[in-house]
Amino acid sequence: MREKFRQFMAGRYGTDALNQFLSIAAVVLILLSLVTRLGLFSWLGLAALIYCYFRTFSRNISRRTEENYRFYSFQERLMGKWKGVKRRWADRKTYRYYRCPKCRQLLRVPKGRGRIEISCPRCGTQFIKKS
């Protein structure tokens, strides 16, 4: 039996971080559908599960590897955003955040200094804001 399974899996992709995420998401969605009694969640959970199995047994390994890389970079971007939100929340009393009108760079200025001229360190644009 084990040998058969090994033969079956030969040349197939197997599991990765994205599949782990998908299987957890499927369980969470199905639990949600049980709690909320919304059919939508169970369909989404089923879709996640099917996609997970499809990826595990796929023979197109380079394509699946690429998907996993994209998943990693998406996860990193999300974590970066979350860190930014956390930091802004932590120093909301002492700093104000503005975006440069030209290059959209996020700038942090100390609060309570009245109207100040801010110059963007990235592109050099100057603009006036209340701090």
Residues that bind Zn ion (CB under 5 A): 100, 102-103, 105, 120, 122-123, 125
Minimum distance of Zn ion from residue 125's CB (angstroms): 5
Taking the least distance from each CB to Zn ion, the nearer of 63 and 102 is 102
Taking the least distance from each CB to Zn ion, the nearer of 63 and 108 is 108
Minimum distance of Zn ion from residue 127's CB (angstroms): 9
Give CA–CA dist 103/78, Å, rounded: 21
Taking the least distance from each CB to Zn ion, the nearer of 78 and 123 is 123
Minimum distance of Zn ion from residue 118's CB (angstroms): 10
Give CA–CA dist 116/89, Å, rounded: 22
Structural tokens at position 77: 């971007």
Give CA–CA dist 103/33, Å, rounded: 44
Give CA–CA dist 41/62, Å, rounded: 31
Minimum distance of Zn ion from residue 124's CB (angstroms): 7
Q: Which residue has the tokens 């802004």?
A: 88
DSSP string, 94-125: TEEEEE-TTT--EEEEESSS-EEEEE-TTT--
Taking the least distance from each CB to Zn ion, the nearer of 48 and 120 is 120
